[in-house]
A and B are shown apart, each in its own frame.
Chain A
Amino acid sequence: MFNVATGGRRRRAFCTMAVCVAVITKENYPLYISNVPAANELKFHYTVHTSLDVVEEKLSAVGKTTSDLRELYLGLLYPTEDYKVYPLMCETHPPSTPPPPPIPIFVGDGMVFRSCPRAHAFESRYGYVANTKVKFVIVIDSSNTSFRDNEIRSMFRKLHTAYTDVMCNPFYTPGDPIQSKTFDDVISSMMQVC
């Protein structure tokens, strides 16, 4: 009985895979959007775009009160949402300057926003915003209700590192759409279907 239960949970934990991953610039245009299934691309574009409303609002609130970043859990993002969207904002250099040397990035520095998983929702959005207002958004199929916060955080860490690697590439111009095979590989590993 015990084994069955843990086995079940483990299998579900493996299912906690993103259906869509997006990197959004400070100016709120997409640098990278990838999703499975690929057919529904437009819908995911809308999903990511609309979730920026909440991220922006949270960001403006952060500016006003420098409260503990941990307190910035959104709670309920979109109550009747089909997806869980995790926006994440990461630090980058100011746009006017040339690419600086790579900065050590702490995921804990940024803010994780997430929506409350609801039984009737199908997918949820998560996100993270860093000091320089580059946002990461991860959409998760919310039929997986058993995901844990740590898993989301580690996904963001992975994503963040991959993004940092892209930024370190001297041939990459910040602000251009990301076209990198390595980055693609990382993203597709996050979106593997179990």
Chain B
Amino acid sequence: MPCVSNEWELPPELCCRPMPFVALMGLDMIYNAVHRAIWEAFSANRRTDRVPVSFKILPGDHEFPKCRTKRTSYEWYIPKGILKVGWMHKHLNVIPAVAVVFFELDWDEPQWRERQSECSTRVEIVRQSLQGRGTKVAVVLIQKKAPLPPGEDLVASERASTLCAACELSAKALFVLPHTDHIVGYIIRLENAFYELSQGYYHAEARKVKSHKELLNRTTHQLLFVRHQFKIGFFCELKQDTQTALKHYKNAYSHVHELRAYDTNVHEIKTFAGFINYKICRLCFQHNLPLDAISQFRKHVDLCKTKSGSSELAFEHAAWMAKQYSVFGDLFDEAIKLGLTAIQTQHPGFYYQQAAYRAQDRKKMALQLCKPLASVVYPLPDPLETPSGKLDYFGQRPWRQGHQSIDPPDPAREREGILALQLHERAVDHSGLIIPTLSSAVAQFKKYKCPRMKNYLMVQMGEEYYCAKDYTRSLTLFNYVLCEYRVERWWMILTSILSTALKCAFLMAQVQDYITISMELLGRTSTLDDERKSVIQKNLMKVLMNTCPDPEPACDEAAIEVAKRLWKEAASLKTNNMITVEMQNYVPFVECKAAFLQESFSVDSPVKLQLSLRAGCPFPQRYSHLSVTFNNQAYNVSGSCDLSCTTEPPTEGELCLLGGKVQRHDFSFVAETSDTGKAIEIESVRLELGSESGRRLVLHWLGAGGDAASAREAQQVSRSSRRLQHLPSEEPHWDSISIRASTLVQARTPRLTLHVEHDPPALSFELFRLCVCTQSREEQPVSDVQLTISLQPGQDANLSQTTHITLDCNEQCDDSFPAFLHNIPLGNLQPGERMEKDIFVKTTLVGSRIFVISVAYTVTAMVGEGGHHLSCRCQQDETVVIETLQPFDMSVKHFSMKVESMTRIYSDDPFLLQTNILSLSPCPITIARGCFRLQPPMASPDGDPASHLKQVQLQKDEIGSDCCCLQCPPVPDGQSGVAMGTYTIFWKRSSAAPNDPLVTTVLTLPHVIVETIPLYVHAEMPAFGRVREVLPLRFQLHNRTAFVQEVEATVTASDAFMFSGNKLVRLRILAGCEQELLYNLYPLMPGFQALPQLLLRLLHFPGATNEALQRLLPTHIFVKPQARGTNSLTLAAG
């Protein structure tokens, strides 16, 4: 068993958490159920809340290893190594801190003496076995009964003290374990007691080691300084005193580097330094001091990296370094799992990364140093073999254990040893070590937001897989990272990865990958030189010819042979000779830009498309087929955009791309009429390389070309201040070609004149005539002419409620008519034919309206020169703005019979109603007639009131008046207004034809206030008077109420008259009766004279105004002068 295979693996006893070791003795696990229950209580469910103790069952007569007598002087002692291999194991698992003897004994045991001596014998046996050691011995009595409270059981205390005396135990080391239901509780108390005992033991052990210090000297006992400090540290750790342990480990670490290192012992020093470093870092993390751990580790690496040892075993040093890094990474990671937080610049990934790099160094060195030579045979006897199969001391060479001299004791043996190690190294699977470490690093870098570092490590993983000949995994990893580098445009890195990936694809005969990688390596972003590109292109052509490409440089010979066989197999498979590559995912060597020549095409003209191609490869590249597909499948079926060489051989330079030259192809096709108003988009461009006989490679661009890098390039071009100009003769500059992936198909331009004749403005309620005149200017007869009129969308929504359109002027156009008319068939039109159509619009609200009038028709058109006939629908639109005005305004006035204006009327009192029609229309209107429609109780005293307006023409601002006499009986609520009825006007424009219908406008007459007066006064007198002739004046007072009224009448004096009659009189008028007052006036002056005024006071109606009555009475009279020649005195006052 060679002692090298463990590869710097840390021993498990170093990595575990040291816990006090307690041996449980005398438990019979096989035959005794009680004992087994006790053991299970000790061993099961050891959670963190229980004290850290490691229990182990040993038989009662277990032989512990013999204790060697400790030397009292180190004077002549020369240590052989730093630490024995078994030391940690011994203290963890072999030598107990406490040996516990279990014994079944009850206090009321009848045969007490016999049992007591039996117990003391057992204790004595254990003591004998542990002679010379400080191990504490304790006794546990397993009892059937529950104990009495302390002090009550006198027998028990007495017997306990005798037992202690017999077993030479202190009272503190004797325990009772009643075997009752609460066993776990007792066990926990017991183990706490054992834990305390163990603390004492380890403390004593540590002191014992410490006491040796004075005996050491610095010249010969350097190793012992390290050993002792480490041991103290370890004992402290067993004691669970990690702070002190850390201190001693640190001491040990500084002592280790004080040792003189030379080729023969550097291995041992590094091994042990690694152990101590592990302990320190682990404890630092445990104490939540990550920075201390990191700085310790840095110090460790710095101190040790120069201690590379023998140059023939340089790989060993690299392996050791790798191990240090990865172990620290693990420790760090574990600490993070326990709650530590790491940051982007400090996390375990870095350590795994370094571990991987060191492992790579190791691989390189191993390849250099361990060259396989046929002459070398493994040395015999095996220098790595030791008699025990183990080493005595950590880190020593198996063939010269215990030697601490500078020079190896046997140079020949030394050479054999080194050779054996080298031969072992050769068998190591380095990639198998590197890849998992890189993988751990990748996971960490991903976790701590370092995507680029993660990608870099994945590339390295891929390269390592390539070295390990696992090409599938390698290629998978490369494919994963390639797009990231492509997006970030790091072309040099991309090219480097692609080159390795190409090798993988070649060695696995992965046709698809091989082609895509080659295409990208030939592309414009590749940093390869032309020579290399030529080789790649030749290989690509070979693949398209279905033959095996030339092997990539620097490939493994054996792998090439395998690859060639795979390529042949792939070639024989006929199923996969069609390969499609999605170009937008790569930066390939063929670029494509497709553009429609215009942003829109009319449906009756051919759609033109230009396709530009450019190849970046060194050799001309032939292709066999070029096609464009569109979003409408109809164009794809027709095949008008295919360029194919399948039928005829390609003309020179036609289907061949020259490196760096731009090639253009023009396509044109006729759009479908159903696509009118829609966009035609280029869905994809397909370029086919290769032929049916070999492999067919389809380069597929989604959209109108462009690849992973072209969007960015187009942006750069647009940003450039350089103007790309080119002469017509010159080849166009590639960058100046832009992509236009979609075009709009527009309707054919109509050839039709559309004209709307009308006479603005429109008058509300009028049927306004719009005359739509269309004239065809087409060369062909047009059919299916249809007229549509509607309000233009986007206007006030209320307009559609107040607008009505009809075709027939004779029907009453009311609210049921719509605000639009669709698709009114107008028949066919011959070329040049003119057609008119009247439309009537009635608007009930003033304002301006926009109407859209459109005429659609079908015509057969010719497209292009090919004589392709196309039936298309054209449409001509016209908008008309129509302003609507009010035709006239009506005002109403009331007059009394005296033609005095009144604001209110009086019941039973006839009055006059006058309507004034004010024309507002700019064009003359004719009022055919007017018509009053009275609403009861309003009535006319002379029967049906007639209108006086008949066939009156009104210019703008002229007024036509109508008048009628009305009377209203008393109404109960006359004060709030009484409806009078309506006034209807029948009118039309004066310019309208005689047979045009009249417009009926109904106007509502305003409400009028009707007042009832209690006393009606009527004055009777002649039409005129004459000076000095008697003028009789009679006042009739009529009581219109149902009550008797008292009236006080006064007559005021007047300068123009003398009069006779009552100056002041008080009358009583019965209900509904009349009284007369008679006065004889004697006019004194001629002219229009004021009459004496009659003032009436109604005593029962004090509120009734005199004013209302005055209105009824005449105020003046015309007095003629005295007639000449007549005797004025012939008449006397009667």
Contacts and interface: CB of A to CB of B under 8 A. Distances in A.
A81 B4 CA distance: 31
B868 interface: no
A174 B719 contact: yes
Interface in A52-88: 52-54, 57, 74-80
Nearest to A41: B492
Interface string A21-55: 00000011110000000000110011001101110
Interface string A115-145: 0001110000000000000000000000000
Interface string A151-170: 00000000000000000001
B79 to A, nearest CB: 31
Contacts of B496: 42
Interface in B287-304: 294, 298, 301-302
B490 interface: yes
Query: Chain B CB within 10 Å — which of A74, A78, A96, A175 has the most?
Result: A78
A95 interface: yes
Contacts of A99: 721
A149 interface: no
A173 interface: yes
Contacts of A46: 456, 459, 493
A104 interface: no
Nearest to B718: A96
Contacts of A175: 715-716, 719
Contact of B345 (A41, A54, A173): A54
Contact of A29 (B345, B453, B490): B490
Contact of A120 (B294, B305, B715): B305
A98 interface: yes
B738 to A, nearest CB: 17
B350 A78 contact: yes
Contacts, number: 82
A173 B302 CA distance: 48
B450 A53 contact: yes
Contacts of B1075: none
A54 B344 CA distance: 7
Nearest to A97: B719
A137 to B, nearest CB: 13
Interface string A174-185: 111000000000
A2 interface: no
Interface string B349-369: 011011000000000000000
B449 interface: yes
Given A80-B353, A173-B719, A50 B456 contact: yes
A25 to B, nearest CB: 9
B351 A76 contact: no
A116 B38 CA distance: 58
Nearest to A116: B345
A49 B452 contact: yes
Given A119-B302, A120-B298, A120-B302, A45 B719 contact: no
A80 B720 CA distance: 42
Contact of B298 (A30, A53, A118): A118
B345 A98 contact: no
Q: How large is the interface on A (under 10, 10 to 19, 20 to 34, 35 or more residues)?
A: 20 to 34
A40 to B, nearest CB: 12
Given A49-B493, A118-B298, A120-B305, A78 B720 contact: no
B722 interface: yes
A171 B716 CA distance: 13
B492 A45 contact: yes
B346 A57 contact: no
A193 to B, nearest CB: 23
Contacts of B345: 54, 74-79
Q: Is the interface of B mostly helix, strand, loop or mixed?
A: helix
A98 B721 contact: yes
A42 B350 contact: no
Contacts of B350: 78-80
B451 interface: yes
Contacts of A45: 490, 492-493
B447 interface: no
Contacts of B302: 119-120
Category for how many chain B residues contact A:
20 to 34
Contacts of A78: 345, 350
A113 to B, nearest CB: 10
B128 to A, nearest CB: 56
B49 interface: no
Contact of B488 (A29, A170, A174): A29
A75 B719 CA distance: 38
B488 A53 contact: no
B503 to A, nearest CB: 16
Most chain A Cβ neighbours within 10 Å, of B294, B451, B720: B720
A111 to B, nearest CB: 15
Given A49-B456, A120-B302, A120-B305, A79 B346 contact: yes
A107 B456 CA distance: 31
A124 to B, nearest CB: 13
Nearest to A95: B719
B1068 interface: no
Contacts of B305: 120
B450 A80 contact: no
Contacts of A80: 325, 350-351, 353-354
B923 to A, nearest CB: 61
A141 B493 CA distance: 22
Contacts of A76: 345-346
Nearest to A28: B488
B489 interface: yes
Contact of B721 (A27, A54, A57, A170): A170
Residue among B305, B345, B346, B715 facing the most chain A CB atoms (10 A cut-off): B345
Contact of A50 (B325, B453, B489): B453
A2 B209 CA distance: 48
Nearest to A172: B721
Contacts of B354: 80
A173 B449 contact: no
Contacts of B298: 79, 118, 120
Contacts of B721: 98-99, 170-171, 173
A28 to B, nearest CB: 5
Contacts of A79: 294, 298, 345-346, 350
Nearest to A173: B720
A98 B719 contact: yes
Nearest to A30: B490
Contacts of B492: 41-42, 45
A57 B449 CA distance: 8
Nearest to B460: A46
Contacts of B489: 27, 29-30
A91 to B, nearest CB: 18
A50 B450 contact: yes
B736 to A, nearest CB: 14
A79 to B, nearest CB: 5
A90 to B, nearest CB: 18
A28 B490 CA distance: 9
Most buried by A among B354, B492, B496: B492
A173 B722 CA distance: 8
A45 B301 CA distance: 27
Interface string B780-791: 000000000000
A41 to B, nearest CB: 7
10 contacts: A29-B490, A42-B493, A46-B459, A49-B493, A50-B456, A53-B450, A80-B351, A80-B354, A170-B721, A176-B720
Given A45-B490, A80-B351, 16 more contacts: A29-B488, A46-B456, A49-B452, A50-B456, A53-B453, A54-B344, A54-B450, A77-B345, A78-B350, A80-B354, A96-B719, A98-B721, A118-B298, A120-B301, A120-B302, A171-B722
Top 7 A-B pairs, shortest CB-CB distance: A29-B489, A53-B450, A173-B720, A50-B453, A80-B354, A50-B452, A53-B452
Interface of A: 27-30, 41-42, 45-46, 49-50, 52-54, 57, 74-80, 95-96, 98-99, 118-120, 170-171, 173-176
